[in-house]
Amino acid sequence: MDFSSINWLAVVIAAVSAFVVGGLWYGPIFGKAWMAEMGYSEDDLKDANMVKIYGTAFVLEFIIALQLALFLNHGDTSPSIGQGAAYGFHIGFFFIALSMGVNALFSRTSLKLWFINGFYFVVLLTLMGVILTAM
pLDDT at position 47 is 85
- Average pLDDT over every residue of 100-109: 96
Q: How does pLDDT run across 43-92, given as a tens digit for each residue?
A: 888 888 999 999 999 999 999 999 999 999 987 778 999 999 999 999 99
User: For residue 117, is pLDDT > 90?
Assistant: yes
Q: Cα–Cα distance between 39 and 67 in angstroms, integer?
A: 33
pLDDT at position 17 is 98
Query: Burial of 121 by CB count in 10 Å (0-12 exposed, 13-18 middle, 19+ buried)?
Result: buried
Percent of the chain's residues with pLDDT above 90: 85
Q: Name the pLDDT band for 5 (thresholds 50, 70, 90).
A: confident
| Domains held by the chain: number | 1
Q: Which domain holds residue 31?
A: 3-134
Q: Residue count of the chain, please give it.
A: 135
Instruction: Give the predicted TM-score (pTM) of the model.
Output: 0.94
The H-assigned helical ranges of 80-110 are 81-90, 98-107
Contact 113, 34 (CB under 8 A): yes
Write down the mean pLDDT value for the chain.
95
Q: Cα–Cα distance between 11 and 17 in angstroms, integer?
A: 10
